[in-house]
Structure 1
Amino acid sequence: MADSKREVGRKYRATPGTRLPDLTRAAGVSAVVHRGPAELDAVYYDTEDLRLAADSLTLRRRTGGDDAGWHLEIPVSAGVRDEIRAPLADTLPPVLGALLRSRVRRAAVHPVVRIRSTRDVHHLLDGEGALLAELSVDEVRAERLTEDGRGATATWTEIEVELADGVDPALLDAVGRRLRKAGIRPEAAPSEPARALAGTAPPGPGRRPTDEAPVPATAGSCVLAYVRRQVTALVALDPAVRRELPDGVHRMRVATRRLRSVLRTYRAVLDRAATDPLREELAWLAGELGVDRDREVLDARLGSRLAALPPRLVLGPVEARLRLGSAAGRTASRRRVLAALDSGRHLDLLDALDALLADPPLRPAAGRAPREVLPRAVLADYERLAGRVTHALDRPAGPERDVAVHEARKAAKRVRYAAEAAEPALGRPAARFAGRMKSLQSLLGDHQDSVVARDALLALAVQAHDAGESAFTWGVLHGREEAAADARERELPGVWARASRPGLRAALEG
């Protein structure tokens, strides 16, 4: 069993002689109460090649203080992290191991650094005595853990300010201003173990950080940069899916689809003999994720449609039937997603994607300038989309048109992702083009959601009828979904005209 807590705070560099300023002069702070010192002892774990540190994750086993146990910290944004805690045990709890699987894969984690701290704690209180934040001054002693027991050591002093639950983050700014006026500067290291590892690392060449990604010089570097971003997203979103965070499954499936799409679009850049097998595996993963995501979208759509109905049109145990069907469906889809993420097939896919980036199968066109290669690939996808939209518009209303619209939707996604990948090299024309394709995709997607909803509503109506319940409400909802689909079909010609207005080819080719 694990508990999760979102922590919002900031760290500052200090020295043993640093004196805290009067923090009651920070806006909102009425009192500072000294809570006294505590001794903390934590061993941090990582793989042999420090994969967790590379992604700013920290895994520790802590004793001492009031939060002894295993802690996994996952960064959310600057100064914000989620800490997942599990009870103290001799070995890594399986629940934390699962959250690390996409990063460590089949590698073992082992102790890499030990950090012992003397923590002097202060509570910042408001005028009513409620806790606003905890400020600690930590005297830190770090030791690199090696087989011979002769690892390097480092010491430093740091100050951490962590908000209490529900407190406005503006308090951090107010406290930070008082600390900076006292000469106390923000900590540059992304985490305590990162500083410990850097301070105890054996001598060797460092890596110079870059503030901004350079404009890709070749078509190959542009495409590979996009592939790298999507692979990073796949890995990072794995624990979000496991924790059932909002939109986690959706974002992971989008990353999978983007990868699969761009590997197909840019076959002139990356050899399809190497990428086609990857595309097949990405299609498998997208399909496994899609079961849960499609269920989520359907539940949300049917729930909102039912809530919008006047009460006089709701006959029978409609809400109960919808709720029970949703719960059963989500349980099954959730189990399927976790089985896929835990499978060796998924780990093999992640390893294969890493191998692709480490030794990319570049074709001759990869070495050419982006403007000589990328627009041609984007426009080829666009021509395919144009044909599918024309075909959909020519079909009579009904199932045949529904299928044609769905095929056009898939083509619109592919064009959009191709333009997104080209944006760093082609600039604003590619960004504007991707935006137009997104608008088209949204309309076509809403149409497809209506098709899926109508099939589900028909099945629910049959179930209700067989159970001796009124099927009237399901029929009403079905009719409303038909009307929604008809509205999208009427909008399609106008949206397509705006998305495909003249000048597109000239803008992309620059």
Structure 2
Amino acid sequence: MGIEIEDKFDVPPEYEIPDLGGLADVAGPKSYQLVALYFDTPDLRLAARGVTLRRRRGGADAGWHLKLPKAKGVRQEITHPLTRSTKIVPPELAELVRAYARGAELKVVAELETRRSVTILKDGETGLVEIADDRVKGTVYGDEPKIVRWREVEAELLEGGTRQLLAKVGKRLRKAGASASESTSKLAKLLEPAPLPTAPTKPGSAGEVVVGYLEGQVKALLSQDPRVRRAEEDAVHQMRVAARRLRSALKAFKTVVTETGEVQEELRWLGTVLGEARDLEVIRARFGKALAGLAPELVTGPIQARLGSDLRKREEEAYERIKEALSGDRYYVLLDALDRLVAAPALGKAAAKPAQTELRSVAAANWNRVTKRYDEAQAIEDEERREIAMHDVRKAAKRARYTAEALQPSLGADLGRLAKHAENVQEVLGTYQDGVVAQETLAKEAETARQAGEDTFTYGLLIGIERNAAERAHAEFPRVWKETVKAVSKVL
């Protein structure tokens, strides 16, 4: 797996690669003959999302290649060795495009034959930038096969290169007559998939801002799907955050985008599915750090195994449950609903109003909700019930933060400051809550160890550390709250 960073250029048939001397040592050109079969659903669901799945022979990197979009000019590439079959996608790769295919058959939709001339900029033996001059014959399969021919140039950043050098190469290519390609890939140029439908919203309106934000979060959620299936670092967390942001936005902007109750509930379900593995991941790392900070003589019994490998095993089991959920109809139905949500949302009257006035009041209302929850909690005399109510304050602060962050790009930096203030409240209360949960987890693990006849001294030590951290956060909160309320008053 790697990250592909490249610039693509359209060039005329008579184009000549310019002299690249002076930028680095030049090796080549060297010629290759490449033949690639591209797989997609019959209605091109992968291509519409900027996903490329191909089987290629010839050249230095023959095999299967799956390219997933990450950002403009950057794609994640996952490779698999060449297989004999030209019709069946390797199961490992088919699994990674489930969120895009959603049960539809993957079949060959196009073939590309490319005569490639490769020049490499090098520093000694280290490759910096690869320039590929491609003459392409593309065939689109269907009722009547269509053949298209063109020429293009790609400049790809290699492991030893820099973006600055890539930019200099691009400048020389353009000066010689190349123009930046509007297509993200050869397949996109060949197939020209229909763009994803977008909601008809009025420029500058609340609807435009909210639907645009929702669209971005749906893309963020989808982009994490393959990473979650591969159990990549932080992927579950990022997918869970996207689901939470979507749900929070649908609640906050319910007068702009209406009739979303069912989608909200399904996003809650997805967040719960992802939450078990994420929580275990966080607490395992938390305990590992705490144990590493103790003097060796204070670590007694097989505590590292119980709080390390045992929790990891539970985490791996939770990952399997995630994969099962992400391969089920309920998940696909949710993804379809999210697509409809951004393509044809049910817009309320507020959607047509100016974003500056309509949405700023939503941000203020969400912060007022935080202060209301705080006042309600402080009015409770019973300490245990008051602490439970303070958890609602934390959730309200998170929603206020997400709302402000959604609006900040469109409505200005003061919404960014509001988001930061809400985050401060969320973090202090979160530190307290995390300490409480950690103590409960340690107490359960200690009881299991005690029943097994193990030394539980270190468990008690860790519980004491977590209790102190929670108490410090609890004692700090009144000051943070006072300062935050004062700061927010200046923003709103």
Fold shared per TM-score above 0.5: yes
The answer to whether structure 1 residue 51 and structure 2 residue 59 are counterparts is no
Instruction: Tell me, yes or no, if the aligned pair for 1:215 and 1:425 is still in contact at 8 Å.
Output: no
Instruction: Tell me, yes or no, if the aligned pair for 2:284 and 2:312 is still in contact at 8 Å.
Output: no
Q: What is the DSSP-based 3-state SS (H/G/I as helix, E as strand, rest coil) of the residue aligned with 1:500?
A: helix
Distance, in Å, in 1 between the alignment partners of 2:410 and 2:320 is 41
Residue number in structure 2 paired with 1:338: 323
Q: State the Cα deviation string for residues 56-94 of structure 1 (Å, max 9, x = none).
A: 221222233343333211133343322222333321222
Q: Return the letter of the residue paired with 1:67.
A: D
- Alpha-carbon offset, residue 361 of structure 1: 2.3
Instruction: Tell me, yes or no, if the aligned pair for 2:202 and 2:352 is still in contact at 8 Å.
Output: no
Residue number in structure 1 paired with 2:224: 237
Residue number in structure 1 paired with 2:412: 427
Q: State the Cα deviation string for residues 104-157 of structure 1 (Å, max 9, x = none).
A: 223334433321111123344323x344444332211223323123x242321x
Residue number in structure 2 paired with 1:280: 265
Residue number in structure 2 paired with 1:351: 336
Change (3 A) 1:369 1:81: closer
Q: Return the letter of the residue paired with 1:41.
A: V
The answer to whether structure 1 residue 269 and structure 2 residue 266 are counterparts is no
Q: State the Cα deviation string for residues 144-171 of structure 1 (Å, max 9, x = none).
A: 323123x242321x33333443544444
Instruction: Tell me, yes or no, if the aligned pair for 1:10 and 1:162 is still in contact at 8 Å.
Output: yes
Q: Return the letter of the residue paired with 2:276.
A: V
Residue number in structure 2 paired with 1:117: 114
- Alpha-carbon offset, residue 412 of structure 1: 0.8
Change (3 A) 1:132 1:270: closer
Residue number in structure 2 paired with 1:140: 136
- Alpha-carbon offset, residue 481 of structure 1: 0.8
Distance, in Å, in 1 between the alignment partners of 2:430 and 2:112 is 51
With 465-474 and 493-502 compared, the bigger mean Cα shift is at 493-502
Residue number in structure 2 paired with 1:99: 96
Residue number in structure 2 paired with 1:10: 7
Residue number in structure 2 paired with 1:322: 307
Change (3 A) 1:23 1:131: same
Q: State the Cα deviation string for residues 212-238 of structure 1 (Å, max 9, x = none).
A: x99953333333222222222222221
With 297-306 and 106-115 compared, the bigger mean Cα shift is at 106-115
Change (3 A) 1:170 1:45: same
Distance, in Å, in 2 between the alignment partners of 1:217 and 1:170 is 36
Alignment of 1:170-319 (within 5 A): 170-180=164-174, 182-198=176-192, 217-271=204-258, 274-319=259-304
Instruction: Tell me, yes or no, if the aligned pair for 2:418 and 2:488 is still in contact at 8 Å.
Output: no
Percent identity, please.
39
Q: State the Cα deviation string for residues 450-479 of structure 1 (Å, max 9, x = none).
A: 122111111222222222222111111111
Instruction: Tell me, yes or no, if the aligned pair for 1:450 and 1:482 is still in contact at 8 Å.
Output: yes
Q: What is the DSSP-based 3-state SS (H/G/I as helix, E as strand, rest coil) of the residue aligned with 1:429?
A: helix
Distance, in Å, in 2 between the alignment partners of 1:75 and 1:163 is 16
Q: What is the DSSP-based 3-state SS (H/G/I as helix, E as strand, rest coil) of the residue aligned with 1:497?
A: helix
Q: What is the DSSP-based 3-state SS (H/G/I as helix, E as strand, rest coil) of the residue aligned with 1:23?
A: coil
The answer to whether structure 1 residue 389 and structure 2 residue 406 are counterparts is no
Q: What is the DSSP-based 3-state SS (H/G/I as helix, E as strand, rest coil) of the residue aligned with 2:184?
A: coil
Question: Structure 1 stretches of 5 or more lacking a match?
Answer: none
Residue number in structure 1 paired with 2:431: 446
Instruction: Tell me, yes or no, if the aligned pair for 1:405 and 1:448 is still in contact at 8 Å.
Output: no
Distance, in Å, in 2 between the alignment partners of 1:123 and 1:365 is 56
Q: Return the letter of the residue paired with 1:107.
A: A
Give me the CA root mean square deviation. 3.1
Question: Structure 2 stretches of 5 or more lacking a match?
Answer: none
Q: Return the letter of the residue paired with 1:230.
A: Q
Distance, in Å, in 1 between the alignment partners of 2:381 and 2:466 is 18
Change (3 A) 1:133 1:402: same
Distance, in Å, in 2 between the alignment partners of 1:394 and 1:487 is 22
Identify which of 462, 486, 493 aligns with 2:447: 462
Instruction: Tell me, yes or no, if the aligned pair for 2:35 and 2:111 is still in contact at 8 Å.
Output: yes
Change (3 A) 1:348 1:460: same
Distance, in Å, in 2 between the alignment partners of 1:393 and 1:482 is 22
Change (3 A) 1:264 1:14: closer
Change (3 A) 1:178 1:407: same
Distance, in Å, in 2 between the alignment partners of 1:177 and 1:369 is 41
Change (3 A) 1:379 1:12: closer
- Alpha-carbon offset, residue 294 of structure 1: 0.8
Distance, in Å, in 2 between the alignment partners of 1:338 and 1:353 is 20
Change (3 A) 1:430 1:171: closer
Distance, in Å, in 2 between the alignment partners of 1:39 and 1:192 is 16
Change (3 A) 1:132 1:227: closer
Q: What is the DSSP-based 3-state SS (H/G/I as helix, E as strand, rest coil) of the residue aligned with 2:64?
A: strand
The alignment's TM-score, normalised by the length of structure 1, stands at 0.86
- Alpha-carbon offset, residue 305 of structure 1: 1.4
Q: Return the letter of the residue paired with 2:5.
A: V
Q: Return the letter of the residue paired with 2:135.
A: E
Q: State the Cα deviation string for residues 248-297 of structure 1 (Å, max 9, x = none).
A: 111111111122222222333333xx311221111111100111111111
Q: What is the DSSP-based 3-state SS (H/G/I as helix, E as strand, rest coil) of the residue aligned with 2:440?
A: helix
- Alpha-carbon offset, residue 368 of structure 1: 3.0
The answer to whether structure 1 residue 480 and structure 2 residue 465 are counterparts is yes
Q: What is the DSSP-based 3-state SS (H/G/I as helix, E as strand, rest coil) of the residue aligned with 1:162?
A: strand
Instruction: Tell me, yes or no, if the aligned pair for 1:454 and 1:481 is still in contact at 8 Å.
Output: yes
How many matched pairs? 488
Q: What is the DSSP-based 3-state SS (H/G/I as helix, E as strand, rest coil) of the residue aligned with 1:146?
A: coil
The alignment's TM-score, normalised by the length of structure 2, stands at 0.89
Distance, in Å, in 1 between the alignment partners of 2:179 and 2:345 is 42
Q: What is the DSSP-based 3-state SS (H/G/I as helix, E as strand, rest coil) of the residue aligned with 1:387?
A: helix
